[in-house]
Amino acid sequence: MCGIVGMIGQVNTKEILLKGLEKLEYRGYDSAGLAFVNDGVQVFKEVGRIAALREHVPAEADGFAGIGHTRWATHGVPSVPNAHPHQSTSGRFTLVHNGVIENDEQLKAELGVDLLSDTDTEVVVQLIEKNFKATGDVTEAFRKTLKALHGSYAFALLDSENPDVIYVAKNKSPLLVGIGDGTFNVVASDAMAMLQVTDQFVELHDGEMIILTRDNVTIQDLEGNILERAPYTAEIDASDIEKGTYSHYMLKEMDEQPAVIRNIIQKYQNEAGEITLDQSVRDLVLGRDRVYIIGCGTSYNAGLVGKQLIEQIAGIPTEVHIASEFGYNMPLLTEKPLFLFLSQSGETADSRAVLVEAKKLGHRALTVTNVQGSTLSREADATLLLHAGPEIAVASTKAYTAQIAVLSILAFDLAKAKGKELPFDLMKELALISSAMDTVMSQKDRFQEIADEYLKESRNAFFIGRGQDAYVGIEGALKLKEISYIQAEGYPGGELKHGPIALIEDNTPVIALVTQPHVHLNNRGNVKEVVARGANACVIASEGLDLPTDAFVIPMVETLLSPLLSVLPLQLIAYYAALGRGCDVDKPRNLAKSVTVE
């Protein structure tokens, strides 16, 4: 969601902050702003892209310290007054904020000042000024304000009277401090924003604040106690977050999927070619009587596939739940549950809310994520990394296939530990799939033709399948609606007659997957049903199950692992459908990459 950058100690702060904000564009935003301390505070805000803000900021604007922000609207419409940074009435304090303050209305009523925006953030900066007038100490005013807040926040605060300090704090929303060379330090929501100047970062934990100067990082809890924490090295190759010759990050990341699968194979096997997981992960899962997979969006859809893998291979009962519902409507749990969290970023607020509740109940948790050291990784009992590299496009592609691959490795490792007979050589099958992925990705022109033929003039579309294909269809529908804005729904083929078929009319696009040998004739029957009602049916089938009339044929792979391959055509079709409509593929409207507020 919202992104924060900050820097203290350099004279070229402006350009570093602007470049940092550009690296945070993937998170999704509707406005952006900068503030510099330089003989007072200068604030610049614009609605729209960073490019508009860059044009708005004068060439001479700069400062010894500065903060920047990309806003995704929660309180108040996208507008210049609602954009960050926000200032106190006197102009002394300037604040940027990621998160949602739940008691802002109560605090607003107690302030007694006129507000210029509709945001919860302005309430906070006004409260800081009020507390400063009462205490005469900025650090104490900041700490007192933090104690009064209910909700989530990541803050960076400037004081025009003390340009040598940036005040930083977090609760539930991600924030890092980057360590410079002794002449500067930085702050960012994501390490990628500041890799341009450092790869050394210090994590903030919930309920902590930092007094940041050019040469010092002082971590405190909300009682004023000093805390010590060593920095870590962000193991991200700066070239991984560049598009290179690609027109869009999404296309680059789709193309990376074969390499991601090969990297996962390398990371999760020993010299003998056998699956190897950390014993702590195996011990965490074995002995649990049910796995509860928790996810949102694409991660939830990957969990639907993962459920089949864990149940059919490892023999452990598994349920899949939407995090935002589970957190407030927890079902009756078994005696020894394991909570398995799927999250590309490891910062998903709804999933973290479930993790907090699970820990209160004394349950164990495993996180599968792409980001080492992320909140869900740090707070769970163990972590399995996706090793997929940074994913910048809002619409997830390579994280989905990486999640399924890692879940298959987990399922096989558990089955082996339980003495179960393994149905096939997993690492060999994953290697074959990575090669088959290369084959599919080399035929992009065909998917552009399919998108033009079936979706160019369409307002809606349906995806149908049976077995694993049904779950992949749900993900395909999500990809299409995310980036092309075509209303799309995925259904098990057998559910058509229970309602959705009423929406089929002349030329309605229906994309059908046929990759499951045991139910392929059933889904062929469903295709005939929609065609009889005027649908424009696009069938994507596996070799051996295909017919001459099918739109595309993919290589036959192991049935349980087929989603790793069958999702690729759906990703590409969505991509080219969005291009054909002139949509912003990497940054679709109203969406954010990392949903860090509930």
pLDDT of 283 above 60 = yes
pLDDT, averaged across the chain: 92
pLDDT tens track for 503-556: 899 999 999 999 999 988 888 999 999 999 999 999 999 999 999 999 999 999
By residue range, what is the domain housing residue 89?
A: 3-239
Cα atoms found within 13 Å of the Cα of residue 576, Cβ hemisphere only: 19
Strand 226-227 and strand 208-212: the pairing is: unpaired
Which residues, 6 or more positions from 20, have their beta carbon under 8 angstroms from its beta carbon? 5, 7, 68, 186, 188, 193, 194, 196
Q: What is the CATH number of the domain that holds 10?
A: 3.60.20.10
Among 393, 417, 441, identify where a domain stops: 441
- Average pLDDT score over residue span 309-318: 97
* CA 123 to each of CA 36, 96, 373: distance values in angstroms, whole numbers, following the listed order: 21, 12, 31
* CA 498 to each of CA 63, 115, 167, 301, 491: distance values in angstroms, whole numbers, following the listed order: 63, 52, 57, 22, 11
DSSP lists the bridge partners of residue 532 as: none
DSSP lists the bridge partners of residue 512 as: 464, 539
**Percent of all residues in the chain with a pLDDT value above 90, rounded to a whole number:** 78
Residues 387 and 422 in one domain: yes
Q: What is the pLDDT of residue 327?
A: 81
Residues 488 and 368 in one domain: no
Q: Is residue 356 part of a domain?
A: yes
Residues serving a catalytic function are 2, 593
pLDDT of 445 above 60 = yes
- Average pLDDT score over residue span 82-102: 94
SS3 annotation, 438-463: HHHHCCHHHHHHHHHHHHCCCCEEEE
CB-based contact 25:587 (threshold 8 Å): yes
The two structure tokens encoding residue 141:
């005013």
Number of domains the chain is built from: 3
- Average pLDDT score over residue span 153-176: 93
CB-based contact 568:257 (threshold 8 Å): yes
Residues 282 and 418 in one domain: yes
Residues 210 and 256 in one domain: no
CB-based contact 376:369 (threshold 8 Å): yes
Least confident among 8-22, 211-225, 233-247, 528-542:
233-247
DSSP 8-state symbol, 301: H
CB-based contact 470:494 (threshold 8 Å): no
Q: What is the pLDDT of residue 1?
A: 63
pLDDT tens track for 103-136: 999 999 989 888 999 999 999 999 999 999 999 9
Residues 254 and 379 in one domain: yes
The two structure tokens encoding residue 414:
């558990």
The two structure tokens encoding residue 430:
């994953």
Q: Is residue 407 part of a domain?
A: yes
Q: Identity (one letter) of the amino acid at 322? A: I
Q: What is the pLDDT of residue 593?
A: 65
CB-based contact 122:75 (threshold 8 Å): no
Q: Is residue 595 part of a domain?
A: no
Residues 436 and 477 in one domain: no
Q: What is the pLDDT of residue 594?
A: 61
Residues 430 and 459 in one domain: no
Residues 282 and 315 in one domain: yes
Which residues, 6 or more positions from 126, have their beta carbon under 8 angstroms from its beta carbon? 88, 89, 111, 113, 115
Which residues, 6 or more positions from 328, have their beta carbon under 8 angstroms from its beta carbon? none
Confidence of residue 39 (pLDDT cuts 50, 70, 90): confident
In degrees to the nearest 10, what's the CA dihedral of 444, 449, 454, 455? 70
pLDDT of 325 above 70 = yes
Report the distance separating Cα 277 and Cα 274, nearest Å: 10
Q: Is residue 189 part of a domain?
A: yes
The pTM assigned to this predicted structure is 0.80
Residue with tokens 């609760």: 171
DSSP 8-state symbol, 345: S
Residues 158 and 220 in one domain: yes
Residues 485 and 579 in one domain: yes
Residues 97 and 65 in one domain: yes
CB-based contact 509:481 (threshold 8 Å): no
